[in-house]
Structure 1
Amino acid sequence: MLVEAPAAISTIALKSTIPFDKIVILSNKDEGKWNQFERFLQKRMAIANRPNQDIQVYKAHIDSPIDYQSISKVTDQWISKLSDEADTLSINLTSGTPTMTTLSVLIGKGKSNTRFLQSNPSNDVIEVEIPLDFANAYIQSASKGIAAKATSQPNLYRAFDQLTSHSDAMKTAIKKAQKIATSEVPALILGETGTGKELMANAIHQGSLRVQKPLRIVNCGALAENIVDSTLFGHKKGAFTGADKDHPGLFEQADGGTLFLDEVGELPLNVQVKLLRVLQQGEITRLGDTKSINVDVRIIAATHQDLPLLVSQGQFREDLFYRLAVGIIEMPALRNRIEDIPLIVDQLVDQINQAGIKHPSYTSKKVSDKGINFICSQPWQGNIRELWSTLNRAFLWSESTEIDTDDIANSLLKRQKNHLKHKMTMSMNDKVDIVQITDEIQKNYVLAALKASGNVKKKATEMLSLKDHQTLTNWMKRLNIDTDK
């Protein structure tokens, strides 16, 4: 830089066959010249008509230029981070000490999307093929990537980019969400597990006037009772053992924006009182403090529980319920939005294939039309989350490139049903037709089993724990169920 001469970094940046949209330089010396070097390299890249907006020197916290332990820590941290973010990560082997180069190769070869570059004294760029077998590390990395995707939440944002849907149930929910988004009222999102309540909360925030402000998310059911207060409202130094400094809670972090309280029904009653105060007065008090802090936060809450029932049982404050339940959105279960299922399946299949494609032995797969029809016939009590897990299992077990009905059926979780656990009560003058009630229950279960099995009586018989195929046929006749269906 000082003599306007080319060296490894500028040579590779200017001559690489693949232009870099991001350049990260690690250094532990000459910190006063970093800004000057960034400008120098940006100027050269701009003249060459190459990307130049994201070039930055970062501090490498190492003990010495030959200390393997500290260099390994920094190298692994940066290569792992950039490899996860990038389609292709190029690593410069020319600059730095032999220790740095060695660790760059060892760690970089364990990633599936890295390439290695170096320059010679003539300022030529050479792509280096490392003649070592790192296949095991590569496969392990790719396999962990597949596993991480399979156990994470499916990403369905593309399905709701324009807040549209094919099913009437989702159109109704989205129409309400659009109106709520542009208002400042609290929102309460209801629905079964896995219906996409967090996704809807994100959509409401993105469609609101607070979109440029923070969105903070917390699962109230995942917080230990002794840290809920501190997490939401913050704490002062010394408020409890281990509180060695002041900590702003989520309300302060979300000031001006939105706070999404998932599974709000899990909040302890003492915290519900403080939440009510925020909604009423717009102020909080940190744990261990006496001073109130004003906050401007919009609350979006969600739960799969029956809040009115919790109110009647004294487990949820009635006044808080009415404060939250202004803009109510009910997320439909997957079984009630059949028209959306083919699109959702396509998106989930694409995500599974994208996660697996870097694995050397992976072959992309798809779901057959019959498979999609079978999916549409299932109740999906875990909704999209259950569908996501089932598809991951089907893709894992199947040897075929096309996932069919049997693959999906064999990947479904088996549940032992018993819905009659609740205690029945009757007053002295009450009267019921017990035969009619039991007939209706039997008929509903037979119809459900036939639907889930695709009208395969053998399978429906197993699902209902009946003695044999003829027993099911007799039941269907007795219950006036069309045997030709």
Structure 2
Amino acid sequence: MVTKVLVSWIGANDIRSTTGEQVGPILSTLRNVPFDSVELLYSYPQEEVKAYLDWLRDQVSIPIHPSKVSLSSPVDFGQIYLAANEHLARITAQNIDLSVLLSPGTPAMQAVWILLGKTRYPCRFYQSSLEKGVEQATIPFDLSAEYIPAAQRLKSSKIHQLSSVTAPVDAAFDHIVTRNPRMQALKSQAQILAEREVPVLIYGETGTGKELFARAIHNASERSSKPFIAVNCGAIPLDLVDSVLFGHKKGAFTGAIANKPGVFQEADGGTLFLDEFGELDHSVQVRLLRVLQEGRFTPVGAHKEEIVDVRLITATHRNLMKSVAEGSFREDLFYRIAIGVLHLPPIRAREGDLLYLADRLLTELGKQDSTLSNKKLSPDAKNIILNHAWRGNVRELQSTLLRSALWCGTDNITAEDMHQAIFQMPEQGSDILSRDLSQGIDIQNIIGELTSNYIRRALELSGHNKTRAAELLGLKNYQTLSNWMEKYDIS
């Protein structure tokens, strides 16, 4: 008899699900897809995981088999590969139907699952999210043994380094590669802002280079010798925001075993970069406003105020003016941070930059490791790059070029290599009538998703001729289209 088994890492969202705020990816998957048992790997401390496992066993009736894995780092490809490979080898020795849940864990863990599931241990992949619920994931490429040795010539630490798209510590405006007049104007504006002590707000989609601009502004300012501290506001749990931003004193709450400075203290004299600033809860915005107005705050559990001198740079992909109008973002805070404002365009809107960027990124990969030093793009591969939407912008382009360079059998990256390396995301709005309601949906976001998708497609099809695009969309005139584009923040 074949046993249907689900394998997954235990992630932070799973552990937090015991509080009842949301259902984590693991339980959500087990509720939506029938399995006979579940195998769970974890690297968290035993005491954190025990409460979750006890809670999970109360929610489902199938056997749960947890396995503790010792990792020095949750992004060490080598250790993750060995642990996952050993575990899959053990369980697949039995007669099982294997499925892997990709959602929990770090990107390195997800990458290893895909590598193993596409080569040694054929399986189905699932993913679970609040937005789309539980769905079977289609990985639109295959791996074969001939590709693996080329990738294995690089150590896991080197692959991790090459796949990193964080801005360099010594980032300068020369690191911002462009031939596009709009981007060149933005660089000039940013250089002027660097010389002044004003807060800067940077708008842009994911992967457009917001942190690169922020670091370049800091390094060109009079604060360049002082700290630059970067924080992703969207990744901070709500109950820890005050501690992360303002620090805490020993004993301030359970788990506060020592005094800990917040990022405002760490950035004192320098620059604090708050990425995904639009994700901060309304209650946090109130406390943040006082710090920006007075330069004073009180750490959690303290009685004495601290004074800091910090230059603030914020970044977001959200339309904060729209959020202000809707009441989800404080108007007084918006005008406090939006003194110098930079709107970074997506790379699909940077005419003349796409192939230039691709060649430069491939050259940089070759400089970092000689194994990739002679890789070149064929004309057909360049055509694929030109025709792809690149919704992940520079980050997606760089990771795709790295995959294609690792997998291609020669120094010439072909169209087939690019097809295998590109992740083909489902069209926005596809299957829009059958979204999973079990975890809640945002109907306004779905409407915006559908509208934005067709506006972008009409603009691309019409060569960005607004009059023609409006006709394709059945709108009366291009001004109506312009109003829709402004509403949905489409460049």
Give me the whole-angstrom Cα distance separating, in 2, the residues matched to 1:266 and 1:423: 17
Other-structure match for 2:160: 148
- For these two proteins, the number of residue pairs brought into alignment is 301
The structural deviation recorded for 1:410 is 3.8
The structural deviation recorded for 1:202 is 0.3
Pairing 1:211-360 to 2, within 5 Å after superposition: 211-354=224-367, 356-357=369-370
Other-structure match for 1:407: 417
The structural deviation recorded for 1:374 is 3.8
SS at match of 2:160: helix
Kept in 1, the 8 Å contact 2:172–2:219? The answer is no
Kept in 2, the 8 Å contact 1:195–1:332? The answer is yes
Give me the whole-angstrom Cα distance separating, in 2, the residues matched to 1:419 and 1:162: 36
The alpha-carbon distance between structure 1 residues 394 and 209, as it changes in their structure 2 partners (threshold 3 A), is same
Other-structure match for 2:218: 205
SS at match of 2:155: helix
The alpha-carbon distance between structure 1 residues 290 and 316, as it changes in their structure 2 partners (threshold 3 A), is same
Give me the whole-angstrom Cα distance separating, in 2, the residues matched to 1:446 and 1:309: 24
Cα RMSD, aligned residues only: 3.6
Pairing 1:41-440 to 2, within 5 Å after superposition: 142-153=154-165, 160-161=173-174, 165-354=178-367, 356-357=369-370, 364-419=374-429
Give me the whole-angstrom Cα distance separating, in 2, the residues matched to 1:444 and 1:283: 45
SS at match of 1:400: coil
Kept in 2, the 8 Å contact 1:165–1:171? The answer is yes
Kept in 2, the 8 Å contact 1:145–1:355? The answer is no
SS at match of 2:353: helix
The alpha-carbon distance between structure 1 residues 159 and 251, as it changes in their structure 2 partners (threshold 3 A), is closer
Residue segments in structure 1 that go unaligned for 5+ positions in a row: 1-75, 81-138, 425-437, 452-485
Give me the whole-angstrom Cα distance separating, in 2, the residues matched to 1:163 and 1:445: 28
The alpha-carbon distance between structure 1 residues 253 and 198, as it changes in their structure 2 partners (threshold 3 A), is same
Q: Give the structure-2-normalised TM-score.
A: 0.55
The structural deviation recorded for 1:367 is 1.4
**Amino acid aligned to 1:388:** Q
Deviations for 1:360-379, whole angstroms, at most 9, x for unmatched residues?
xx784111345335423432
The alpha-carbon distance between structure 1 residues 167 and 334, as it changes in their structure 2 partners (threshold 3 A), is same
Q: Give the structure-1-normalised TM-score.
A: 0.55
Larger radius of gyration: 1
The alpha-carbon distance between structure 1 residues 316 and 165, as it changes in their structure 2 partners (threshold 3 A), is same
Residue segments in structure 2 that go unaligned for 5+ positions in a row: 1-71, 77-150, 433-442, 446-450, 464-491
The alpha-carbon distance between structure 1 residues 160 and 208, as it changes in their structure 2 partners (threshold 3 A), is closer
Other-structure match for 2:7: none
Q: Percent identity?
A: 43
Kept in 2, the 8 Å contact 1:220–1:262? The answer is yes
SS at match of 1:237: coil
**Amino acid aligned to 1:300:** I
The alpha-carbon distance between structure 1 residues 283 and 352, as it changes in their structure 2 partners (threshold 3 A), is same
SS at match of 2:303: coil
The alpha-carbon distance between structure 1 residues 257 and 146, as it changes in their structure 2 partners (threshold 3 A), is closer
Kept in 2, the 8 Å contact 1:149–1:352? The answer is no
**Amino acid aligned to 1:265:** G
The structural deviation recorded for 1:346 is 2.5
The alpha-carbon distance between structure 1 residues 150 and 209, as it changes in their structure 2 partners (threshold 3 A), is closer
The structural deviation recorded for 1:283 is 0.9
Deviations for 1:217-271, whole angstroms, at most 9, x for unmatched residues?
1111111112111111011222112223322211111111100000011112222
**Amino acid aligned to 2:394:** I
Give me the whole-angstrom Cα distance separating, in 2, the residues matched to 1:161 and 1:190: 20
Kept in 2, the 8 Å contact 1:169–1:336? The answer is no
Deviations for 1:165-220, whole angstroms, at most 9, x for unmatched residues?
31112112112111111111100000001000000000110111111111111111
SS at match of 1:218: strand
Kept in 1, the 8 Å contact 2:324–2:330? The answer is yes
**Amino acid aligned to 1:147:** I
The alpha-carbon distance between structure 1 residues 321 and 154, as it changes in their structure 2 partners (threshold 3 A), is closer
The alpha-carbon distance between structure 1 residues 447 and 172, as it changes in their structure 2 partners (threshold 3 A), is closer
SS at match of 2:221: coil
Give me the whole-angstrom Cα distance separating, in 2, the residues matched to 1:267 and 1:277: 15
The structural deviation recorded for 1:308 is 1.9
Give me the whole-angstrom Cα distance separating, in 1, the residues matched to 2:337 and 2:397: 30
The alpha-carbon distance between structure 1 residues 395 and 159, as it changes in their structure 2 partners (threshold 3 A), is farther
**Amino acid aligned to 1:244:** I
Name whichever of 221-230 and 411-420 sits farther off: 411-420
SS at match of 2:424: coil
